[in-house]
């Protein structure tokens, strides 16, 4: 038996929800007025695929923006101190090694982006993505 695209997406979103369980993610979405408490908690179980995907899209966009802002601050500080700049990928890897919280949210971002790429490949029937 082979699952269809919707069921695979639901399973992936549930996996992301279990990864985020207990992280404060649902509470953060409520504080940011992205969702009500009940809906934010339903994102963890992927009860409604479209809403859940939207919550993860907002999260991925926010994490990406925050990562790039932090890198921008690093580049400003490094330039003012006369240090050599690390490339973005190297900087992210270095931050992940020294800061477990950065590693957790960077892993979350990578998981969400992987899910989005997979869903896009299903919709476009382009599995080389």
> In this predicted model, what pLDDT tens digit does every residue of 42-91 receive, in sequence order?
999 999 999 999 999 999 999 999 999 999 999 999 988 888 999 999 99
- Predicted pLDDT at 54: 96
Q: What is the DSSP string of the chain?
A: ----HHHHHHHHHHHHHHHHTTTTHHHHHHHTTSS-HHHHHHHHHTSSHHHHHHHHHHHHHHHHHHHHHHHHHHHHHHHHHTPPPPPHHHHHHHHHHH-HHHHHHHHHHHHHHHHHHHHHHHHHT-TT-
How far, in Å, CA of 91 to CA of 72, rounded? 11
Query: In the prediction, which pLDDT does 125 show?
Result: 86
Q: Using the predicted structure, report yes or no on whether residue 2 has a pLDDT greater than 80.
A: no
Percent of the chain with pLDDT over 70: 99
The answer, yes or no, to whether residue 113 has pLDDT greater than 80, is: yes
Tokens 């802002």 sit at which residue? Answer: 69
Please compute the mean of the pLDDT values over residues 88-104 and round it to a whole number.
97
Quickly state the pLDDT bin for 129 (edges 50, 70, 90): low
Cβ of 9: how many Cβ atoms within 10 Å? 21
Res 40: pLDDT: 95
Q: Which residue ranges make up each domain of the chain?
A: 5-122
Give the mean pLDDT of 99-109.
Answer: 97
Q: Give the span between the Cα atoms of 68 and 26, in whole angstroms.
A: 23
**Between 58 and 124, residue with greater pLDDT:** 58
């Amino acid at each position: 038996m082979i699952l269809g695209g919707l069921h695979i997406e639901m399973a992936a979103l549930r996996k992301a929800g279990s990864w985020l369980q207990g992280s404060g993610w649902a509470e953060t979405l409520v504080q940011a007025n992205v969702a009500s408490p009940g809906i934010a908690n339903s994102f963890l179980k992927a009860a409604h695929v479209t809403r859940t995907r939207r919550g993860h899209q907002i999260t991925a966009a926010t994490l990406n923006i925050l990562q790039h802002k932090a890198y921008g601050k690093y580049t400003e500080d490094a330039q003012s101190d006369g240090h050599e700049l690390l490339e973005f990928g190297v900087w992210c890897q270095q931050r992940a090694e020294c800061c477990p919280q950065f590693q957790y949210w960077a892993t979350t971002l990578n998981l969400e982006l992987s899910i989005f790429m997979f869903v896009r490949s299903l919709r476009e029937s382009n599995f080389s993505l």
